[in-house]
Structure 1
Amino acid sequence: MSDQNLTPKKSIRPQISNALLVDTMSGEERFQNSTLRPILKLQNKILIAIFKDYITEKEAKKTSKSSKSERSYSRLSATKQREYIDTVFQKDIKFKSQLLGMIIGHFDLEEYNLYAQNKTGTDRRIINLLKERIFNGLAELPQ
């Protein structure tokens, strides 16, 4: 099968009508709005499901290790939920890397080359966008 028969990765991404793309923005902002946001929107449901499973697994481990009842994620205040998400991304490097890989795997070669020029800054942008999507996505789920 030749590459000509493959659907380009960009063609499956949703359009974001309010994504700001202006001549005066930095290359990083342009990459965020033209590449990262559409990929995250495309992957939104699976990202939420993965994080929800992560929470469920962590809570099950806490419950089996401890006799005292711990507050579940859904019972935390919004502030504590944000702190929980921040902590996961700070402390669980393996999980963070898994989610980053899911996003980077949707880059085409040109986008990957742009990413490779500023991995640290782009990773930071991806993580911030991920945290926001996860927080908002979990808040929308029925309790």
Structure 2
Amino acid sequence: MADFPRPDDSLHALRPTIASAALLPAEAPATVADFLHAVLRPILKLQNPMLLAVVADFVHDHHVPLVRVAPLDQQRLLGELLARNTKLRYTVVGLVTGLFTTAEFTFYRQHRSELNRRLLELSTRRVQDQAAAVAELSSQP
């Protein structure tokens, strides 16, 4: 991988503090579970408004009838959308990986498939839990 300067301290400063992440050691995460709590959860919390906006934009562009269905059906539709649409999945992964430090990205590359699976599970749960907000955002022009 080519050397490129990354503002690692600035990237860390952006992230909100999460109670479970505060209990972990300050050095680089040793396991995928540590990485999940120390890196993925804080970044997802930071990127939550952008995640909802990206999914809502996708729903709007693809004419998914999210506003007209019951809340449980909204959650089901959003889950299917995030599970089946490769373009949306890669966009969600990019929202998070773009905020990794150099060391975190190196760890991510070593555990890419497991971390992508967990990242998409967390993202899907987040979007489904906020289905009403996604529906409202998708109905705006």
TM-score, normalised on structure 2?
Answer: 0.76
Q: Which of 103, 107, 110 pairs up with 1:110?
A: 103
Q: Which of 71, 75, 80 pairs up with 1:82?
A: 75
Q: Deviations over 1:58-94 (max 9, x none)?
A: 22xx7xxxxxxxxx21333343223212221232111
Give the SS at the match of 2:18: coil
Give the aligned residue type for 1:27. Answer: T
Q: Deviations over 1:8-40 (max 9, x none)?
A: 2011100012448468xx711111111000000
Q: Deviations over 1:96-126 (max 9, x none)?
A: 1011011000000110111111111000000
Distance in 2, matches of 1:108 and 1:4, equals 7
2:117 aligns to what? Answer: 124
Q: Which of 18, 33, 39 pairs up with 2:37?
A: 33
Give the aligned residue type for 2:13. Answer: S
Is 93-102 or 4-13 further displaced after alignment?
A: 4-13
Distance in 2, matches of 1:127 and 1:108, equals 20
1:16 aligns to what? Answer: 18
1:66 aligns to what? Answer: none
Distance in 1, matches of 2:98 and 2:74, equals 28
Give the aligned residue type for 1:87. Answer: E
- In the alignment of these two chains, the number of paired residues is 128
Q: Which runs of 5+ in 2 are unaligned?
A: 137-141
Change (3 A) 1:103 1:29: same
Distance in 2, matches of 1:109 and 1:90, equals 28
TM-score, normalised on structure 1?
Answer: 0.75
Q: State, as a whole percentage, how many aligned pairs show the same letter.
A: 25
Change (3 A) 1:4 1:120: closer
Q: RMSD between aligned alpha carbons?
A: 2.7
Q: Which of 83, 86, 93 pairs up with 2:86?
A: 93
Structure number with bigger Rg: 1
Matches within 5 A, 1:38-77: 38-59=42-63, 72-77=65-70
Q: Which runs of 5+ in 1 are unaligned?
A: 63-71
